[in-house]
Amino acid sequence: RGNRLELEFNDYRPPGLAPAQIEASVCGEMATSFTASASEKAVIYLRGHCEPRLVEFEVLNPFVPSETDQRQLGAQLVSATVTSKLGFPLVSPQLVALISALIFLSSGLIWILLSGSVARGVAFAVPLLAYLLLRSQTNLELSNLFYLWLVFTAPLTGLYLSTRAWMHAGWTRAADRFDGKRDLPSILVWMAIITIVVCGGLLRFHAISFGLPNNYHPDEVPKVLAIMRMVDHGDLNPRYFLHPSLLLYSTYFMNTIFHSLLGVEGTFRETAFLAGRYVSAIAGTASLYLVFLIARRLYSGIVGLMAAGMLAIFPLHVTCSRYLKEDALLLFWILLATYCVVRAVQDDRRWLLVLAGLFGGAAFATKYSGMLTVCIVGAAPWLRSRRVLPDGRFLVATVVGLICIPLAFLICTPYSVLDAAKFLKDFNSERRHMTKGHTGAIDPWSQLWMYHFSRSIVPGIGFPATLLGMLGVGVLLWRRRIEDLYILAIILLFYLPAEYVKAKPAPQPERYIFPCLPFLAIAAAEFIRRVASSRLRGLAPLLLLIALWLPGIRTRNLSSEIDNDTRTQMAKWMINHLPAGSKIYMDWKPYSPRFWHDEFEVNYIQRARIIPKLDIRALKESGQDYLVLSSLFYGRYFTEPQSDAAIRQRFREVFARVPIVKQYAPRYGTYGFHNPTVTLFSLKERDFAQLESELAQQDRGEIEKTSNELRAQLRW
């Protein structure tokens, strides 16, 4: 019978009333009737030919709650699950065949790679585990399943390729001691890295003043307010500890240079936004050189150049390097600490571990997740010994380096002690935010630990670079050199906590895995180098070109739209076309067009009241002339997992039944805090009447599309 819809109800009904009797139809044809009961699931078989399957319900014995609430109610639905006899939905026979083929491909790779009865048993267990995984998913998100398969299979493929003689001719998994051998620096290598850094810097500084003075990035405002509190009080206490203080001090220092040395015009507050963005852009640009240095020491100069080149054009790295946010500066300190550890181990310079600890403390003082640099520095004795037992000579230096991490944190965030009460209050607030979620809690298991892989890494660096990085993971796992495992450990060190916390704040949760990017680039570059040294060497330039071309095009396209943000375009249009003094409803201020000269009477809806205020009747009775909605606000309800379906339906109704006047949508999509789709609605009675007439005509088949559908892109 294929797929079926299973419904669970509770027993709620007013005393004395019989249980609800419900009829259900599928694709317009009667399917079944049932009595709503908590003791038994209602099952509706999804026969029919409409796509998607439309299920409609009719309550045969509804009740009215009260004289003031005249709704006709039936039963309270607890859950609705689409499933089949196999325990998961059968979307299509072709998809079932494809999923089966992918599962058995993974099983076959394990069969080839491993030997022995236990290993063969693992290969046989893969299809069973995959089936149990499919059954366990209450919300079958195929994208998460695909990326989980990719994370499992791509490294296996890298392992398989590493075992082929034609792939590793001339190299083995054995390696010399960590002795600092690397490519000799040449004029071509240095010219190349200078070119990469300069071009990467130009990308990061391009349109760096975007959106000012409109403050389109809401998270920048609290930073500037904290800086101005320091200015106003004449001290260095930011009175803000949702994040540590190093970014604030760096921005303060940069802004002082702007005014005292460069003579930048504007008030200290106005230029603080730009100063903070300069800090991030400088840190992001310097990170390109640090990635080169790390990869050159661990692998070769060509790997360093490829890794730096990839990082230079990754859309996520370029975008975050333009914000007054902690991420670019955090990664800079992480890379600097990593480089010091690698150089200390290779060159037997234990004093560099002290520097590594100080730089790790600077990372901690930039963002609380920087405390994870403890693991980066703490690995030094094992990197030196290359075995289970650590190098005794490096243990003492490593302990000193680890002590330097909290010391540097206190130096860079001194008011964590001097204003301990405020620090603890803000720190605990951020801790609760991480554990309870942002607009909603997103549990890692519900997303198979693939939330950031599918939504952050793949869009942030491009699918080709992601695939090459995962193939590179397989090569590093096969070789199992200590430096290879070190790179893999750092990727996991910053990926797993980002997945574990339940806060993944829209519209830019991807910044949480920002520290993974350079190390994924190194893995991808090392895979390309191994291909270049094999009999398939002719493929290496093509792989590099694809890894650079696609994210490069994406970065170029996104950068081309930054200056002329859709909110700015909408503001100009409204000023030129709407009557002065019109009353305008808007959602959250940073997501909406801004007006500075009282062109309109703007009423920002309180964040907690936005959804109730978007009721059609409430909008008609609001007394406002127009409504503006931004996809930075409503888009999360259509993209984030486990979001409320009722809220999504509320927005669908607004876009269908409230007259649309104008919409600005980005050509290349919304990314980060740039270029949302901004829609202007009319709340005037005559426009409502006109749209209702069009909807009636559409129902009668007289017109194909309403004016709303013609004026707006409705992509749900």
pLDDT tens digits along 675-689? 999 999 999 999 999
Q: What per-residue string of b and e applies to 389-402 under the rule 16 or more CB within 10 Å gives b?
A: ebbeebeebbeebb
Residues 614 and 507 in one domain: no
Q: Which residue has the tokens 């003075």?
A: 213
Task: Please check whether residue 475 is in contact with residue 416, taking contact to mean a CB–CB distance below 8 angstroms.
Answer: no
Q: Work out the pLDDT band at 175, boundaries 50, 70, 90.
A: very low
DSSP letters along 288-306, please? HHHHHHHHHHHT-HHHHHH
Residue 354 resides in a domain: yes
Same domain, 415 and 359: yes
Is residue 209 one of the residues assigned to a domain?
A: yes
Query: What predicted TM-score, i.e. pTM, was given to this entire model?
Result: 0.92
42 located within any domain: yes
Domain boundary among 560, 584, 614: 560
Tell me the per-residue pLDDT of 590-618, one tens digit each, with 9 for 90 and over. Answer: 899 999 999 999 999 987 788 889 999 99
- Mark whether 326 and 469 lie in a shared domain: yes
**What are the structure tokens assigned to 703, written together?**
């017109």
Give the residue from 106, 122, 112 showing the smallest Cα distance to 162: 112
Asked whether residue 683 is domain-assigned, the answer is: yes
134 domain-assigned: no
> Looking at residue 22, what is its pLDDT?
96
Tell me if 150 is assigned to some domain: no
Q: Are residues 591 and 548 in the same domain?
A: no
Same domain flag for 245 and 197 = yes
Give yes or no: residues 507 and 396 share one domain.
Answer: yes
Closest CA to 158 of 545, 455, 466, 462: 466
Q: Are residues 507 and 627 in the same domain?
A: no
pLDDT at 606: 85
Q: Is residue 181 part of a domain?
A: no
Same domain membership, residue 619 and residue 486: no
User: Per the structure block, which two tokens stand in for 304?
Assistant: 């360093």
| Contact between residue 241 and residue 422 where contact means Cβ atoms under 8 Å apart | yes
Return the structure tokens found at 587: 């959602």
For residues 440 and 570, state if they share a domain.
no
Domain shared by 536 and 630, yes or no: no
Confidence of residue 177 (pLDDT cuts 50, 70, 90): very low
- Give dist(CA 330, CA 510) in Å, integer: 15
pLDDT at 26 over 90: yes
Q: Are residues 579 and 689 in the same domain?
A: yes
- Scan for tokens 């419904």, then name that residue: 7
Domain containing 70: what range?
4-83
Domain boundary among 62, 83, 104: 83
Residues 375 and 415 in one domain: yes
* Residue at which a domain ends, from 27, 54, 83: 83
In the chain, the number of structural domains is 3
> Range with the lowest mean pLDDT among 1-15, 382-396, 447-461?
1-15
Residue 195 lies in a domain: yes
Q: Report the C-alpha gap between 598 and 608 in whole angstroms.
A: 25
DSSP 103-155: HHHHHHHHHHH--SHHHHHHHHHHHHHHHHHHHH-SS--HHHHHHHHHHHHHH
The whole-number average pLDDT for the span 471-478 is: 96
